[in-house]
Structure 1
Amino acid sequence: MSETNSAMTLGKRSLMGLVLGLAAGGALYFVPECWLRDDFLINTVFKIVGNGYLNLLKMTIAPFVFASLVMGISSATDVRQVGRIGIKILAIYFVTTTIATTFGILGGLILKPGAGLSLGTFELSGQYEAVESSFADVMLGFIPTNIVASFAEGDMIHIVIFAVFVGVAMSLLGTQAEAVKRFNEDFANVMLKIVNMVISTTPFGVFALMATTVANLGFGIIYTLAKYCVCEIFLFFLFGFCVCGGIFTLLARENFFRFLTQFIRKVAMIPFSTSSSNATIPYSIQFCRSIGVSNKVASFTIPLGATVNMDGTAIMQGMTAVFVAQLYGIDMTWVQILTIVIAATMGSIGSPGMPGVVMATLVVVLSSVGFPLEVIGLIVSIDKFPDMFKTVLNVMGDSVCTTIVAKSEGEFDREVFYGRKAAQ
């Protein structure tokens, strides 16, 4: 409860930082160019605070993502203890997350949330330039040859892939890797604490970045950010009704609207108010049992889903990458799109289901294609509102996948689902 309360306090402080940044930037926008405005405030004070915040995020992201992903995969891939249930739930979680990432990218390309405003031009580094590459070259480029160099250069797609191999290997070794697993879990907890410390400075970073942006660009950025929020929330609803509803109807072969009404009535307000998938775990397990899923399935798949199945997060990361490309006039290539799909999908897996942490994993996605990270501060400032809807979709996706797997395993009671008898 304390984590939730502190996260909500952080959200209010970030909103205050946003408002104050808008006010300060708006005031500076009408001030004629002078040493105090440009050299001292914008290019010194605000630059140190805003870019310092972004540098702290960059500092934490490689070790944080590696440790978190290894911890999630090493637990999630231990399917021997759950047999077919584990294999099925991991497969469906991975597929739905990949679909969600692609959905977010396509949504961004169609809705164009970043169109109409330019944050200037951005030259991609040589390794991310739009070059003609064969499919084989692209796929080989995802495989690291020197992981130490990948860590040093911050090549996130290599780090993510290496973390997957380490996590799977630890799971297959079982007790032989117990000491390494305990060390990694402790290290992941330390990194999570550091990330939380960095995130606690968000209000100051938001203030400086927003003030700088408005002072340089005027109030057009406000309209663009509002459009970004509306597009993001629209995609959440569309994915929930069309994709989640479609796979539930197709694979579970039950009434999705009955499932949806029960979910909204019994669970939805918990993730909406807390913005935390982890805080919703006991409520989600209870909900799944109340609609006929056995406790054996729900007690395994729901906690697992809170770690590795983040449909809303994947949509947000995919759309945000397109949003950034549109703001900076970057023409995305199919190589970049494929890289974003992989990075966003894997970045969502192992990401703790806690408020605010998604901003750290967003660095993975943007870094994977060499996109500028400065816009993250702006997204942080307005993420609190769409984050509530995003968490609801994350949690609903877990329950949908859990019901599908339970039905396939004969661990689902239709009589309970349709209210003809009480849950056990």
Structure 2
Amino acid sequence: MKNIMLKWNQISLVKRILIGMIVGILLAVTIPDSTKWVSIFGSLFVGALKAIAPILVLFLVMSAISKHKSGKQTNMKTILVLYGLGTLLAGVVGVVASFLFPVNLSLSTGAQDVAPPSGILEVLKTLLFNIVDNPVNALLNANYIGILTWAILLGLVLKKAAETTKTVIANFSDAITNIVKWIIDLAPLGIMGLVYDAISTNGLSALKEYVQLLVLLLGCMFFVALVVNPIISFIFTRQNPYPLVLRTLRESGLTAFFTRSSAANIPVNMTLCKKLGLDEDTYSVSIPLGATINMAGAAVTISVLTLAAANTMGIEVDIWTSIILMVLSAVSAAGASGVAGGSLLLIPLACSLFGIPNDIAMQVIGVGFVISVLQDSCETALNSSSDVLFTATADIAKKRKEGKVI
């Protein structure tokens, strides 16, 4: 048994995850009634990631900032530009694609118990209150805006602390990172459970009525992932972006696809950044921040579903309103929650731009939940993988500027 485990661990994580996927699919298709217990592995895996992620973010960011030497340059300004540019262009892609391939929705009631933001002021108000949230409450509720705020403030204060204090914090950070590695090693089992649960519970029959909408959404996301993001990366790095793009999609996007949570995928992205040899002072801040504000997939979802609702209502959309929607979808996406289905709750905000009634907007959310089996998974994969892509792009661009990369 020990030799079997040793050989199993020698297989790359991606291959092990693929094996888990295949086993989960086979069990769900052949003997679903006898293997319902398999789904518990998925719940445990996602639960473990979500449990460790808030603590990991707090200590990693706090430790990184406290150890930062004054005068040492990081790439945060470049990364923030990349995050904003990527999310805005994703909104542009969603709007343009919706004009080229208009979709009408077959609306049905649903999601009435969900309370979306009533306007941009409510979004800003929620953001501000999340910033000043009690740190313990922020950890308990996975409020990453609050966690980041407290981690940054504590890190800045601790820059003047004794080296022994900084060492203790760094030791805690390393210990939590090791726990994360143990959890990630269990990813094949977790993915097996998640795939089994998705197929045995939902299947693909629920998607038939919305195939056209789903194809449009996924087409936009693939276009952003394989065309727009590589172009952005190339402009900054002046080198072939596809090896990096494909690696981030494979090693980050794959797990994000199944966990459906940018927040839960933070530990995976941290590990990938370390494997890529990126600056820890930078990625320990940029990755948690990206899970909160870098939401290209959410921008696509918000813009496409909003215009689909407008088409269904027979509303004519002019070019200026379209431009406003591009910006609004990007800004709204940056405020979307980093958990499964977070972007759907901001669709009514964009629908209000066209005067679409709230009850219709809520039905659009219901449509979103119907197709979320694939839509939300692909959205999260795009969001999370681009966190690493843009962090790495900024690092390569910096080294190129310094003459370290040709």
Q: When the two structures are superposed, what TM-score results if normalisation uses the length of structure 2? A: 0.59
Instruction: Please tell me whether residue 7 in structure 1 is matched to residue 14 in structure 2.
Output: yes
* Partners of 1:14 and 1:206 within 8 A in 2: yes
C-alpha separation in 2, matches of 1:272 and 1:58: 19
Which residue of the partner structure matches residue 69 of structure 2? 81
C-alpha separation in 2, matches of 1:377 and 1:159: 28
SS at 2:73 equivalent: helix
| One-letter code aligned to 2:134 | N
| One-letter code aligned to 2:297 | M
The equivalences for 1:186-201 within 5 A come to 186-191=175-180, 193-194=182-183, 197=186, 200-201=189-190
Structure 1 residues 308 and 225: CA distance shift in structure 2, 3 A: farther
The equivalences for 1:181-330 within 5 A come to 181-191=170-180, 193-194=182-183, 197=186, 200-214=189-203, 217=206, 219=208, 228-246=217-235, 248=236, 259-261=238-240, 301-302=278-279, 309=286, 317-320=295-298, 323=301
Kindly report the root-mean-square deviation, in angstroms, between the aligned alpha carbons of the 2 structures: 5.5
Instruction: Please tell me whether residue 144 in structure 1 is matched to residue 151 in structure 2.
Output: no
- How far 1:341 moved relative to its partner? 1.0
C-alpha separation in 2, matches of 1:363 and 1:187: 24
C-alpha separation in 2, matches of 1:204 and 1:194: 14
Which residue of the partner structure matches residue 378 of structure 1? 373
SS at 1:123 equivalent: coil
Which residue of the partner structure matches residue 322 of structure 2? none
Within the candidate set 75, 80, 86, 1:100 is matched to 86
* Partners of 2:296 and 2:383 within 8 A in 1: no
C-alpha separation in 2, matches of 1:388 and 1:154: 21
Deviations for 1:209-244, whole angstroms, at most 9, x for unmatched residues? 223323762645777666554432210233335433
SS at 2:132 equivalent: coil
| One-letter code aligned to 2:192 | P
Which residue of the partner structure matches residue 293 of structure 1? none
C-alpha separation in 2, matches of 1:103 and 1:230: 15
C-alpha separation in 1, matches of 2:62 and 2:27: 44
Structure 1 segments unaligned to the other structure (5+ residues): 26-39, 249-255, 286-300, 345-360, 418-424
Which residue of the partner structure matches residue 146 of structure 2? 158
Within the candidate set 397, 401, 405, 2:394 is matched to 401
C-alpha separation in 1, matches of 2:106 and 2:184: 31
C-alpha separation in 2, matches of 1:196 and 1:185: 17
| One-letter code aligned to 2:373 | L
Within the candidate set 70, 75, 78, 2:58 is matched to 70
Structure 2 segments unaligned to the other structure (5+ residues): 1-7, 253-267, 311-324, 348-364
The equivalences for 1:310-389 within 5 A come to 317-320=295-298, 323=301, 338=331, 340-342=333-335, 362-363=339-340, 378-379=373-374
C-alpha separation in 2, matches of 1:180 and 1:140: 28
Within the candidate set 392, 403, 406, 1:412 is matched to 403
Structure 1 residues 188 and 270: CA distance shift in structure 2, 3 A: closer
C-alpha separation in 1, matches of 2:210 and 2:27: 15
Within the candidate set 161, 169, 173, 1:180 is matched to 169
SS at 2:202 equivalent: helix
* Partners of 2:13 and 2:185 within 8 A in 1: no
* Partners of 1:104 and 1:314 within 8 A in 2: no
* Partners of 2:221 and 2:297 within 8 A in 1: yes
C-alpha separation in 2, matches of 1:364 and 1:389: 13
| One-letter code aligned to 2:57 | L
- How far 1:77 moved relative to its partner? 3.1
C-alpha separation in 1, matches of 2:339 and 2:70: 32
| One-letter code aligned to 2:167 | E
SS at 1:83 equivalent: coil
Structure 1 residues 364 and 308: CA distance shift in structure 2, 3 A: farther
Which shifted more, 135-144 or 304-313?
Answer: 304-313
